[in-house]
Every structure is written in C-alpha cells, then in structure tokens.
Chains A and B, each alone.
Chain A
C-alpha cells in the first residue's frame, strides 16, 4: 500500500474554512462597532437634550418665572447624571480598542466631554441656587496617559470606589487632558492651574493626586450631611 498521497485539495479547503471563520469574526466585529457607534450617538443625543432641558428649567427658575423648583430640578439632575460617567468610561474603552470608526468615536468623545462640562456647570449653579437640596461634591478629574500620568489609574480606581459608595452625592467629571480636539480642556487646565497630571479640582481648587484616605477626607469635609453616608461614618 505504501504512504498515502497528499490530498492538496484538503490543504486548500482547510485554509478556506479557517479564513472564512476569521473573516466572519472580523465582519461581526465590524457590525458590532457600528452598533456601538449608533448606541453612543443616541446616548449623546439624549444627554444633550437632557442638558438643554435642565438648563431651560434652571433659567426659568432663576428668572423667577417658575417658583422654587429646587427639589424637582435636583431630582432630574440626579437622573440625568447617573449614567454620564459610566457611559464615558465605556466609550473610552471602545475608543482604545476601536479598529474601525475611530473618527466617529472621537466625535462622540468630544460630545461627551462637552456634556460633562455642561453638567458640571449646571451642578455648580444648582449649588448656589438650591443649596439645601444640593448635598453633593463635584470633582473635575483631568487624566492623562500612563506616560504623562502614571498615578491616574490608581486615582481613577479610588474615584470609582467612592462613586459606587456615594452615588449621586459624588459627581465625578473625568476629562481626558490630552484630548486636543476639544479646546475647552486647555481653558479648564489654565483656569484651575493644572500643570501636572492628574488634576483633581474640588471646590474650585486643584489638589493633584490624592490617596484614598485624603480623598475620603476631602469628600466628607465638603458634604453637608456626611453622617448620612456610610463612608464618612467609618
């Protein structure tokens, strides 16, 4: 009988099948990327509308055309802001791993960055106009890459931890300080004198890197009713 002859066709078919599986995988990846872009575009659109609605309500209240709407406004604000930070984190992940649609992702990132700043602005306004119903701490967190901000990842995990524990009592507005597409970031950096990363702006002052304990101290110090939180009680 001897040795079996090579079936060349089999080598070729195996290659074709393998290639097809990979192309299928990449194709699915492409579809998924488009789904992600659509999903985030819709979210961004909704956030922009949310912000405009909030802004209008605030203006009407401020002009005394509407009575005291602090409670309702704060509730609305809490609802809108709830997912803002989480959505931003997800978007950052996708931008990092995006193989296609990078341009669209960057556009989305710009919209998200503006939304963050808008909501931060409203949160500061609410603190002045509705001091009683605004028991929360706002933090602008300017982060960078591993190279220009080696401590950013650590700080992000602390901020994330306190965010999970405090919910709407802590508002973190994380902004990529290297995101050149949006000029307002440089304005923020100059205004709050951020020369080194990370920038942690609490109550209008830049503290730079804070460890977990320092961060906790600062947050608890600024909350009106720290006793109502588990974190500040421990």
Chain B
C-alpha cells in the first residue's frame, strides 16, 4: 500500500510542479506579446543618481567607482553618491582617491562622498537618497560592475511606460567565476533570471537587487525610502512597492557583473541572510499572502517564498526517511565487505541484470524526475540566452552542471533548515 511518507513526497512534488507549470504557461502565453522592444531612441536622457553604499570595501570600491563613472551615459546627467557606512578599513580613503581621479577625467560628472556612523546598508542608501535630485536613482553595491550600456538600457524601459513603473532591475552575472562555488552560482543566476523574466511579465518580482536596480526617485521618496528589512532592504522595498501597487520590471539586456562568495561557507552565510530576511519580510507583510488584491503576486509568488522553505524542510526530513531501508542495506553490505567500496561495486556489477534493472525502475519517479530535468534544462537554456553566454562543457562546466543538478539542492535544503531554526529562535542577521 502507499505509505504516508511517499504520499507527502508526491504532494510536495505536485506543488513544485504546479508552480513551475503555471509560470511556464505564463511565459509561453505572454513572452511574445510583452517582450521589451529594442533600445528606444531617446532625445534627452534623464538625470540619474547612483548611490553606492559601502562598508569595508577597500578592495572593491576604487574599481567600482571607476567603472560606473565610465558607463555610456551623458556625464552631465549622472550623479554618483558614495556613502561610507563607517568602514573600519581604508574604504573611505580609496573612495576619495577614485573620486578625485574621476573628477579630473570626467569634469561634467557630479561625484559626492558621504560618511556616516555604521548604521547599516539601508541607512547608507537613505543618506545618499537625500542628495538624489534626479528623476531616477539607482543603488549600486560596491562590488558590482555594470556593462557600459546598462544604464541606458535600464532607463529605456521607463520610456513610454506609465508612472506606476517604479523600478527596473538588471540581469546579474557572476564576475569572473573561478571556484566551483562561483561557477554554480553563475548557473543559478542564469536560471533565476529566466524565472524573474517570467515574474516580470506578471509584475510578481519580489526583490530589486542592490547591484543597479533603477527606481523613480519620487516614488521611493514618497514611500519613505529604504527600511532595515531584516538586512534585506532590497526585498523589503520590492514588497512595499508591490503593496502600493507599483510595478517592477526586469530589463533582460542590461547586464551587471557582481562578485559572489568564493567558498561554500561564505555562500551559506550569504544565503542564510537572504532567506531569513525574505522569510521575515513575508511575515511583516503577511496581509498580502493569498490576497486577491495583489493578483498573481499575492496569490502565488509571495506565498511560494515561505512555502518553498517549508517544502524544502519537509523534503530534507522525508527523503532520507523514505530511503532509510536502502541506506541501511547499503551500509550493511559495505560492512560485510569491510568497507571495501571498490570490491563491493565490482561484485555488484558481476551480478548486474538488465531485466531487473528495468523492472526496478519506479516509473512514477522516472516521469517526474525526467520532466523536472527537462524544465531545468529549458530554464538554463533560456537563462543563458538572457546572459548571452554559453555553457562550455569541455572547460569543466560539465562538472559544475552535475553538481548543480544533483548536489546543490541539498545545500539549499541545509540553508532552509538553518533559516527556519533562526526564524523560530529569532536570531539576528549580520550584513557582513
């Protein structure tokens, strides 16, 4: 008979698949009608203020300022505001030096350097926002580098749009991925941006990321600027924009390179901060959950944030539980072989029987798994298209792909496990 564990597992897969199918149908039906057109001809580019908050970024701040000053945008329309959030290293000094050299290089450019006591990223952005007197403003993390034409592309998305379009977000690409962890994030970002491209079609984006999210200054000021948002101020603001029925759009061809964690440990720390912040923000805005007023966002996307966490926890508990018998059997077999894995595998192969291999297949699981893989590859293909990049399977990307498909999931499960523990025990989140 069906056992309870298996039924719960099927229900979880059903929910995930339903969610995926919903967004894929949305993509198929709406992507052609709403595809952003090519760059619009703009006679006069509007003014943009770019706020760069920094905290202990001495390694990055110089190149970041150099890079943003060099973007393809009329210099007299740009205002760069660097806010030092009480750094303990030489960030302020390096920022000062970078500003000085760029003032000489680009005399029309307005460059401001501010300093404050350490109050957190949101406070630093709000400090900078006070100096933003342009129709648009963007935040830029101190370790991110936009492509030359990113600003023009982002601004183009606001043209011919109604005033309720509050924010346009760019595509984030991993800056020089070297380690396995960084390459996995590169893949993950590709898939995430395809997913966000679909969310964008239905105004269901729930985060306006730090690296170069563009905003209408007036709207953000009207809403009171950034909030602490449990150290995920970019998510809090996006939810608040959704709450007041403003729109957020993703610009699929504006690219920004951002530095990502190099090690599993650093990635774990980052993800715990993100997911815990997400969860707490959802809790703060719980009135939007299942709320028809917020359409697909309230009924679907917003619900999926905590739900995906709950389902991930259920999976991490149930999967080993459902496999306990086979795990135990394998352990005992290995024990019989005095843990000589090679001998065990060789003997197993000697007894390999194709008929039984075929008969052993659980077709229900095979169908569901195959479909999940097809969808994942499709998303990856689309994501890479947005990235304008290709997988190089010969250059080791194959290993990255394997780890991403078969192992990364367990890492995310671990993150959720810690996040729920911290959520329940109300642990504080640290920014850096």
Residues of chain A having any CB pair with chain B under 8 Å: 1-7, 10-11, 13-15, 17-18, 21-22, 24-26, 28-29, 31-32, 35-36, 39, 86, 90, 93-94, 97, 99, 102, 153-154, 156-158, 160-161, 164-165, 212
Contacts and interface: CB of A to CB of B under 8 A. Distances in A.
Given A90-B356, A161-B333, A153 B203 contact: no
A180 B370 CA distance: 40
Contacts of B393: none
Given A2-B245, A14-B25, A158-B336, 16 more contacts: A2-B164, A10-B25, A15-B18, A17-B25, A21-B368, A22-B17, A25-B365, A29-B363, A32-B362, A86-B353, A86-B356, A153-B328, A156-B332, A157-B329, A161-B333, A161-B337
Contacts of B103: none
A131 B203 CA distance: 83
Given A14-B22, A32-B359, A36-B359, A86 B351 contact: yes
B295 interface: yes
A63 to B, nearest CB: 38
Contacts of B347: 164-165
B162 A21 contact: no
B364 A25 contact: yes
B294 A3 contact: yes
Nearest to B350: A164
Contacts of B29: 7, 10
Contacts of A99: 1-2
A54 B199 CA distance: 70
Contact of A35 (B18, B295, B359): B359
26 contacts: A1-B164, A2-B164, A2-B245, A3-B294, A4-B295, A6-B295, A10-B25, A17-B25, A18-B18, A21-B17, A21-B367, A21-B368, A22-B10, A22-B368, A36-B359, A39-B359, A86-B353, A90-B360, A94-B359, A153-B328, A154-B335, A157-B332, A157-B336, A160-B336, A161-B336, A164-B351
A116 B286 CA distance: 63
Contacts of A14: 18, 21-22, 25
Given A10-B29, A32-B363, A39 B329 contact: no
A97 B322 CA distance: 12
Contact of B203 (A4, A7, A18, A22): A4
B367 A25 contact: yes
A31 B368 CA distance: 16
Contact of B359 (A13, A17, A90, A102): A90
A98 to B, nearest CB: 9
A29 B164 contact: no
Contacts of B26: 7, 10
Contacts of B350: 164
A82 to B, nearest CB: 10
B43 interface: no
Contact of B14 (A22, A156, A158): A22
B30 to A, nearest CB: 9
A160 B333 contact: yes
B292 A6 contact: yes
B180 interface: no
Nearest to B334: A157
Interface string B330-359: 001101110000000001001101011001
Contact of A26 (B162, B351, B359, B364): B364
Interface residues of B, number: 48
B7 to A, nearest CB: 11
A212 B335 CA distance: 10
A22 to B, nearest CB: 6
Contacts of A160: 333, 336
Contact of B355 (A13, A39, A165): A39
A226 B295 CA distance: 77
Given A32-B361, A164-B350, A157 B335 contact: yes
Contacts of B8: none
A1 B247 contact: yes
Given A2-B164, A6-B292, A22-B14, A157 B363 contact: no
A11 B22 contact: yes
Interface in B349-398: 350-351, 353, 355-356, 359-368, 371
A94 B359 CA distance: 9
A38 to B, nearest CB: 10
B360 A25 contact: no
Nearest to B296: A6
A1 B202 CA distance: 12
B214 to A, nearest CB: 18
Interface string B13-28: 0100110011001100
Which 3 residue pairs spanning A and B have beta carbons closest together? A28-B363, A14-B22, A25-B364
B299 interface: yes
Contact of A29 (B22, B25, B364): B364
B27 to A, nearest CB: 11
A132 B347 CA distance: 29
A16 to B, nearest CB: 9
B363 A25 contact: yes
